[in-house]
Structure 1
């Protein structure tokens, strides 16, 4: 989960009216988007909570029976794919379908993926994972953008509306691991995936029924493709697909299985894409010299965020392994399902975010600055990795008390509250004007590249143990945190001259949310 907003500023709805107040004093359309997002996040986090267990469990128990190292790598590369494909979701909304249709098409693809996962065959399972990743990429950048269209630019309810909306994400992500975990425990994996499919179906129905409340602006295509551009985009899409297949084939030179080749290919694309974005921006004649200085200041923050997510997104990977194999099965007379631990983060977000919001408000303009908050977040996540290394080394065979893993989840939530709320703000402040929209994609790509690197580290250290994996991650991250600390004055100087590259009051606030 994260405390971030959409990757692109919303366009105010010209027809939005301050008199439209049926949903807690907010426009009727907020109710539609609230429940759509709640059920979509329910389906996403429910599927994610049991994905690793499904991958590594035996076929006799309904799983796919792959080894644990490869399974953890698949979970990481799945997350990398979701955030990589969200760039396509933003493109389709801005240039092809508009936000509403991109969201609807993505939702249908997601539900088809969950249905495939609910079927008891390996082929449909892999197809389902791919469809959920693609559909989430189409949907993810656009729902929160539509919230902004419900309000005029001068509507004072905007901040409150986003806060209410993002609570839906925390609600969905809190309950889904509990519900899906219980279904998995009592009725098997496919029952859990079926619940995710039902959740997505509810989201689609709610979205279609509530269409009118969203207004007409959600169907606008802000920058539609010209007829001559459509053929070029189609050729580019085919070229990208051919290039990806070629990378998969090339990976056969050093990998023995198609699955390993696909993991490597996605990793290469996930790391190469942000490198290409940064290179394009630095070399573009449209970027002024002072803007290149701002972009240079953003680069170390982006690297820190990438390493942050490399560790943070192991909630459904290595930390899920610790929950299942190293944590006690029962505490205080209550049987503990391993999936339940993934509900700790959204609960901690709800409890701690107001505290951090109060602290940051009272300390506004003083210590800690934006780059120092980044440094604190990267430092704490690095320490949480060392805490996980200690936990893996100290507890074997379901002996760890629940507070060990629970404490690490809370620790990582604190790190998230230091880094994520300022991530989008730093991105918009330091982005070149000519690449403001593309810079928003970079924030998602930090998550993608971080998880791609995690997938590679998982396999590279597969024979060395989970404690070693976390030691390496923690040391790397803390070294980068030290470099960030040294760069804080330099970054602050450049941020002080940077202008805010968003469209004024129409940009959403930075509310509390799950990612």
Structure 2
């Protein structure tokens, strides 16, 4: 075994994988805890009345800010990935990102106007450094064991969903029941634990993720022999113009909405200045993208077009799927009967206790296995990690006991969002088996099935809301409709989310991976901002035609995209040139 072989990491294993994978597992788990915990509260806090210690914003304003925030989160990954690859390395990028996010959550806990905006800005930049580089470390760790990589990403993905689940459950409960500041602050506390644990245990990764050397940066050039098409001066100038327009727009759009038109950087373009600016940026991007496609060999060009097609479908998927922390959470708070008593309250308490304690118990068992392997060398990292688990167990038990105080129980509006993570953990193994079987659908079919499931979920909530009159501010719709929404939407996510990045890696030449991942994350960012744009219109539509009409619109859009995806199957199959 050579000194540089990644087989060295398999000398110390947990569940057949390197101990280092589980250091990343817990770091990512606490980061996702903080991200989803805060995100579950953001729209609720902004739209809560002043009497409930919120900001009392209209839903339109809250969704405008939320859409730009989640859009910027994904755009920032391109910046963070670049700095890690070229300048500071994966490890320092993770540390810098975690530190900025810790400061961001702390800032939001102050709850003043400037601190909330500062906190969101720090979270955006921090996420950009953190998010793309955790998976990069895993990829390097398994470089000489590719047959183990799928299993590694599955375990890591479970950490992602465990963190999201616990973050929404606990931060959401504290934020809604005790105080917003406590919910935001708790997210920051666990982000800090993740940072300290990673810092103290980072030597477990050997030389992986250190500051890149010049030869490492350029080594990807030798991985394929296709025609090289470097960016020319005019193309770089166009990219700078597009980036500037896009960034100014994504920040300016919510500012214009919140200030009700009094502040608008693009006012010189007229009343529709914001729309003109972003459409110009998107138009220039498409022109540049397709011009560059013409410069490559036929097979490469057609595969790149196929990737771009899937990216386009992803825009629509995320724009509708990401109604969860926005319009669906508002629907849960204002239009859903969340008050339970008698046997229904008992059933909820038992179910909630089970879905809280069982995952925590399993993760604690994994933590114990990691301790046995690494405590001798990384004592302080393990002590920090154990302290974080003692705290989270304490909060979870307090939450469950607090729900026993009254005969009547009110489910927090944020609680429904935990169903996504719960269903993913439950259903992911079944979908994985499906993809590995002889019945594995084509890429187009997976996208089509995913969009159909998305439509089915939206149809459930649309049907459930049909009795709500136009203009109504409250209602008492059964919780079953929201449970069905998250079930169908999670199945749709399992059809689409893991598939997209896989096809980028399969279809794109090695040296262009970074550029096309950038295109992919741009598509996701547009989808996230699109979710906010849809959400901005919920009150206008609900007041005129009823809130059910809003969800029927999203249902129809999902169905149209599903039909389009499957209808394009013969063309896309030809463009993929044998890649499955």
1:479 matched residue in structure 2: 560
- Whether 2:74 is the aligned partner of 1:83: answer yes
C-alpha displacement of 1:356: 1.4
Q: 1:488 to 1:468 in 2, by over 3 A?
A: same
1:300 matched residue in structure 2: 309
2:181 matched residue in structure 1: 190
Q: 1:383 to 1:249 in 2, by over 3 A?
A: closer
C-alpha displacement of 1:40: 0.4
CA contact (8 A) 1:114 1:128 kept: yes
CA contact (8 A) 2:245 2:278 kept: no
- Whether 2:105 is the aligned partner of 1:114: answer yes
C-alpha displacement of 1:195: 0.3
Q: 1:243 to 1:382 in 2, by over 3 A?
A: closer
CA contact (8 A) 2:249 2:277 kept: no
C-alpha displacement of 1:362: 1.6
Once the two structures are overlaid, the 10-residue window that deviates more, 14-23 or 248-257, is 248-257
Residues 332-481 of structure 1 aligned to structure 2 (within 5 Å): 332-333=344-345, 334-363=409-438, 366=439, 368-394=441-467, 397-431=474-508, 435-460=512-537, 462-465=539-542, 466-481=547-562
SS of 1:463's equivalent in the other structure is helix
CA contact (8 A) 1:174 1:343 kept: yes
C-alpha displacement of 1:77: 2.0
| Structure 1 residues 138-197: Cα deviation after superposition (integer angstroms, max 9, x where no partner) | 211111111122234236433322222221111111111111122113321000001001
CA contact (8 A) 1:297 1:491 kept: yes
CA contact (8 A) 2:39 2:325 kept: yes
| Structure 1 residues 217-274: Cα deviation after superposition (integer angstroms, max 9, x where no partner) | 2114266889xxxxxx9xx989966985589679969961449989x99988887777
SS of 1:166's equivalent in the other structure is helix
SS of 1:17's equivalent in the other structure is helix
Tell me how far apart the structure 2 counterparts of residues 265 and 21 of structure 1 sit (CA, whole Å): 58
CA contact (8 A) 2:266 2:277 kept: no
CA contact (8 A) 2:337 2:476 kept: yes
Tell me how far apart the structure 2 counterparts of residues 448 and 246 of structure 1 sit (CA, whole Å): 13
| Structure 1 residues 426-476: Cα deviation after superposition (integer angstroms, max 9, x where no partner) | 223333555222112232222211122233333356411133332222222
CA contact (8 A) 2:450 2:492 kept: yes
C-alpha displacement of 1:32: 1.6
CA contact (8 A) 1:13 1:152 kept: no
CA contact (8 A) 1:21 1:27 kept: yes
Task: Choose which of 29, 53, 65 in structure 1 pairs with 2:56.
Answer: 65
C-alpha displacement of 1:90: 1.2
Unaligned runs of 5+ in 1: 1-11, 227-232, 501-515
Once the two structures are overlaid, the 10-residue window that deviates more, 454-463 or 138-147, is 454-463
RMSD over aligned Cα atoms: 3.5
Once the two structures are overlaid, the 10-residue window that deviates more, 404-413 or 468-477, is 468-477
TM-score normalised to structure 1 length: 0.84
- Whether 2:39 is the aligned partner of 1:48: answer yes
Tell me how far apart the structure 1 counterparts of residues 492 and 548 of structure 2 sit (CA, whole Å): 21
Tell me how far apart the structure 2 counterparts of residues 441 and 410 of structure 1 sit (CA, whole Å): 30
Q: 1:410 to 1:258 in 2, by over 3 A?
A: farther
TM-score normalised to structure 2 length: 0.75
Q: 1:26 to 1:247 in 2, by over 3 A?
A: closer
Tell me how far apart the structure 2 counterparts of residues 206 and 276 of structure 1 sit (CA, whole Å): 44
Residues 32-43 of structure 1 aligned to structure 2 (within 5 Å): 32-43=23-34
SS of 2:8's equivalent in the other structure is coil
Residues 110-149 of structure 1 aligned to structure 2 (within 5 Å): 110-149=101-140
CA contact (8 A) 1:389 1:467 kept: yes
CA contact (8 A) 1:322 1:392 kept: no
C-alpha displacement of 1:298: 3.1
CA contact (8 A) 1:300 1:484 kept: no
Once the two structures are overlaid, the 10-residue window that deviates more, 331-340 or 119-128, is 331-340
C-alpha displacement of 1:104: 1.1
**1 or 2 for the larger relative contact order (CA 8 Å, sep ≥6)?**
1
Residues 255-266 of structure 1 aligned to structure 2 (within 5 Å): 256-258=261-263
Tell me how far apart the structure 2 counterparts of residues 160 and 225 of structure 1 sit (CA, whole Å): 28
Tell me how far apart the structure 2 counterparts of residues 46 and 259 of structure 1 sit (CA, whole Å): 32
Once the two structures are overlaid, the 10-residue window that deviates more, 29-38 or 385-394, is 385-394
CA contact (8 A) 1:292 1:432 kept: no
Unaligned runs of 5+ in 2: 219-235, 346-408
CA contact (8 A) 1:116 1:128 kept: yes
**Structure with the higher fraction of residues in helix conformation:** 2
SS of 2:56's equivalent in the other structure is coil
C-alpha displacement of 1:135: 1.1
| Structure 1 residues 273-293: Cα deviation after superposition (integer angstroms, max 9, x where no partner) | 776555434222652223222
2:372 matched residue in structure 1: none
C-alpha displacement of 1:304: 1.6
Answer with 1 or 2: which has the greater Rg: 2
Tell me how far apart the structure 1 counterparts of residues 37 and 296 of structure 2 sit (CA, whole Å): 43
2:288 matched residue in structure 1: 280
Tell me how far apart the structure 1 counterparts of residues 279 and 484 of structure 2 sit (CA, whole Å): 31
